[in-house]
Structure 1
Amino acid sequence: MSIHPLPPPKEPTGLGRLPVARWFLVMGSVAGVVFLAGIVVAMMMSARARELTEPPAVAAQLDRLNMALIVLCAVMLAFGAGLAFMVRYAVLKPIDQLTEQVRAVAAGDFDHGLHVDRPAELAELSSHLDSMRDRIVSAWRETSDRAEELRRSNSELEQFAYVASHDLQEPLRKVASFTQMLEQRYGSELDERARQYIHYAVDGAKRMQLLINDLLDFSRVGRITGEKTPIETGAALDTALENLSATIEDTEATVTRDDLPKVTGNRLQLTQLFQNLIENAVKFRSEEPPRIHIGATRNGAMWEFSCSDNGIGVEPKYADRIFLIFQRLHARDVYPGTGIGLALCRKIVEYHGGQLWLDGGTEGHGATFRWTLPAAGDDDE
């Protein structure tokens, strides 16, 4: 198996640029030179002593000393050669083998085994490295299988979305339209209970259409979207308010805002985010006319937005539940909807790399939702 190679290793700095072999060579050469210099100095001193008038016993002792020095030199040279041979074949060569094996793995051949026989420390190190490589490869293969399964699942989901947006909605439209035609044509012959049944059928078909559309919007986030570009959030909010103009006018709602910044994102989705949050604030209003404020403050590389209202509010114990799909805190006949709105908002924010949460620090009536979005690259602090 071959996958993308790893990036090249970092270049060593300072004395670390020299390989181990050169360190041994340099240190061995210095030690050899010093040792030979000591031998030469000792022999010169012995020769100087010989030139002096000394008894024969002293001369014989000096001869024996010279011989001992020669033997010692020979032994040390043999020992140095043996040490060099041992370092070469017991340390440097296994290091070279392990280095070549690691280079092969780093180049992309992750099935290449890592193993050296000597010395014991390198053998243990290579065993640990090979075990780590094997676990990484196993996890990579499992991830690849899951990614392939996810791609297949996404393909099936796209096919389902197409069916849901066309084939599924057509029977619902027919049920609603023909049921309404039945009421128009035979309304005078039907009693109150029959008309109530017709109303239930039409209402159920319309709610099913709304649920299908909301599910499609939820499934499209992160799959069928445009590129993320620098966007003026004020323009996205203007579009959302324009879409909700009739609702805002009917409820006499007031929407205020701070100076909104530029962020990196998808304009269509951010418009939908503002629209859902404001629509929620209008829907869950109190007896007073809705007052909604959109704020924004800079927090490092992110902008933190807020949507505050004077509505009925949310109890803190439901702060997490309201973001789950199909979760409702009120009966459908009191507050209509599919229970997908806030789940869709959180998915949009997380797709943009931010977070959405209910502010638990607010006091009194109303609710405050906060979310973060990445600031555009050319945005100033």
Structure 2
Amino acid sequence: MSIHPLPPPKAPTGLGRLPVARWFVLIGVLAGVTFAAGVAIVMTLSTRAEALHPPPELAAQLDRLNAALIVVFALLLALGVGLAAMVRYAVLKPIDQLTAQVRTVAGGDFDHDLHVDRPAELAELSSHIDSMRARIVSAWRVATDQTEELRRSNGELEQFAYVASHDLQEPLRKVASFTQMLEQRYGPQLDERARQYIHYAVDGAKRMQLLINDLLDFSRVGRVTGEKGEVDSGALLERALENLSATLEDAEATVTHDELPRINGNELQLTQLFQNLIENAVKFRSEEPPRVHIGVRRDGDRWEFSCSDNGIGVEHKYADRIFLIFQRLHPRDVYPGTGIGLALCRKIVEYHGGQLWLDGDSDGHGATFRWTIPASGGEG
């Protein structure tokens, strides 16, 4: 198996720029020079001592000393040569082998085995690295299979979305329209219970149409690609307010906002985000006229937005439940809707790389939702 190679390693700094083999060569050269200088000094001193014509007993001791020094120097030389050979074949060569194997794996051949026989420390290290490589390759293969399965599932989801948006909508429209025509044509012949049944059928068909549309919007969020760009969030808010103009006017709602920045995102989805949050604030209003404020502040490389209202509020124990799809805190006959609005908002925010949550300090009178969106590339 060959996949994309890994990025190049970081360049070493300081003394680490010199390979370990050169360090051994440098130290070996210094040791050799020191050894040669020691031999030369001993021979010079021995020659000078003989030139002084010492007594026979002292001369014999000097001869024995010279013989001992020769043996010591010979042993040191043999040990130095042996140490150099051991370092070369037991350390440097295995390191070169392991380096070459790791370089092969880093080049993209992730099925290449990593193994050296000596020394014990490098053998253990190579075994651990090879085990880690095998686990990574296994996980990568599983992820690849899951990606293919996800791609196939997304294709089926797109087909379902097409069927839901076309083939399912038309029968629902027929059920609603023909049921209403039945009431109009045979109304005088129907009793009150029959009219109530017709009302239930029409209301169910319309709610099913609304639910299908909301599910389609929810499913499209994760499948939108290549549509992000630098947008003016203030213009998106104005567009959302235009879409809600009739609702805001009927509720006598007032919407204020801070000076909103340019951000990186999808225009349609971010407009829908503002629209859903403001519509929720108006829907769950108190006895007072709705007042909604859209705030914003800079938080590092992100913008933190907020939507505050003076409505009935949300108890903090439901802070997570309200973002689940189809979760409702109120009966449908009190507050209409499918229970998918906040779930859609959270999915939009997460698609843009941010987070959406209910402010923990907003219990009681009114509610405050906060969300983060990355700043645009041109922001300082």
TM-score, normalization: structure 2? 0.96
Matches within 5 A, 1:354-373: 354-362=354-362, 364-373=364-373
Where 2:307 maps in the other structure, the secondary structure is strand
Task: Note the C-alpha offset of 1:39.
Answer: 1.1
Trace 1:269-348 onto structure 2 (pairs within 5 A). Answer: 269-348=269-348
Following superposition of structure 1 onto structure 2, how do residues 240-251 of structure 1 map, counting pairs within 5 Å?
Answer: 240-251=240-251
Separation of aligned partners in 2, 1:68 and 1:226: 84
The aligned residue for residue 54 of structure 2 is 54
Matched to 1:24, the amino acid is: F
Kindly provide the amino acid, as one letter, of the partner of residue 72 in structure 1: V
* Counterpart residue number, 2:155: 155
Look up the equivalent residue of 2:124 and give its one-letter code: E
Output the aligned Cα RMSD. 1.5
Contact 2:316 2:363 in 1 (8 A): no
Which residue matches 2:188?
A: 188
Are the counterparts in 2 of residues 233 and 262 from structure 1 also a CA contact under 8 Å? yes
Distance 1:299 1:66 in 2: 80
State the alpha-carbon separation in 2 of the partners of residues 189 and 158 from structure 1.
45
**Counterpart residue type for residue 311 of structure 1:** G
Q: Note the alpha carbon deviations across 1:110-164, whole angstroms, 9 max, x for none.
A: 1111111111111111111111111111111121121111111111111111111
Structure 1 residue 86 displacement after superposition: 1.2
SS at match of 1:5: coil
What residue identity is the alignment partner of 2:144? S
Residue 363 to residue 20, structure 1, CA distance change in 2 (3 Å): closer
Aligned 8 A contact 1:356 1:369 in 2: yes
Separation (CA, whole Å) in 2 of partners of 1:155 and 1:223: 10
Matched AA of 1:317: K
**Unmatched 5+ residue regions in structure 2?**
none
Deviation at 1:379, TM superposition (A): 2.7
Can you list the C-alpha shifts for 1:333-375, whole angstroms capped at 9, x where unaligned? Answer: 1111000000000110111111111112125421111111111
Q: Check whether the contact 2:315–2:364 (CA below 8 A) recurs between aligned residues.
A: no
Residues 108 and 368 of structure 1: CA distance in aligned 2, closer, same or farther (over 3 Å): same
Q: Which structure 2 residues correspond to residues 189-228 of structure 1 after superposition, within 5 A? A: 189-228=189-228
Q: Distance in 1 between matches of 2:363 and 2:7?
A: 53
- Corresponding residue number in structure 1 for 2:67: 67
SS at match of 1:307: strand
Structure-1 separation of matches of 2:172 and 2:340: 20
- Deviation (angstroms), 1:63: 3.5
Normalization by structure 1: what TM-score? 0.96
Corresponding letter in the other structure for 2:20 = V
Distance 1:129 1:301 in 2: 37
In structure 1, distance between residues paired with 2:286 and 2:56: 125
Q: Secondary structure at the match of 2:22?
A: helix
Aligned equivalents of 1:250, 1:55: Cα separation in 2? 128
1:188 shift after superposition: 2.1
* Higher mean C-alpha displacement, 128-137 vs 208-217: 128-137
Residues 105-144 of structure 1 correspond to what in structure 2 (within 5 A)?
105-144=105-144
Distance 2:332 2:79 in 1: 93
1:309 Cα offset (Å)? 1.3
Post-superposition CA distance 1:225-284 (Å, at most 9, x none): 552211111100111111111111111111111111111111111100010011111111
* Contact 1:226-1:266 at 8 Å conserved across structures: no
Paired positions, count: 380
Deviates more, 1:36-45 or 1:49-58: 49-58
* SS of the residue 2:372 aligns to: strand
- Contact 1:225/1:266 (8 A) holds in 2: no
Once the two structures are superposed, what CA deviation does each residue of 1:81-111 show, in whole Å capped at 9, x if it has no partner? 1111111111111111111111111111111
**What fraction of aligned residue pairs are identical, expressed as a percent?**
80
Alignment CA distance shift 1:363-1:109 (3 Å): closer
- For the 8 Å contact 1:255–1:293, the answer to whether it is kept is yes
1:163 counterpart letter in structure 2: V
**1:177 match:** 177
1:60 CA drift (Å):
3.8
Q: Which residue of 2 aligns with 1:45?
A: 45
2: CA distance, partners of 1:299 / 1:15: 41
Structure 1: stretches of 5+ with no match in the other structure: none
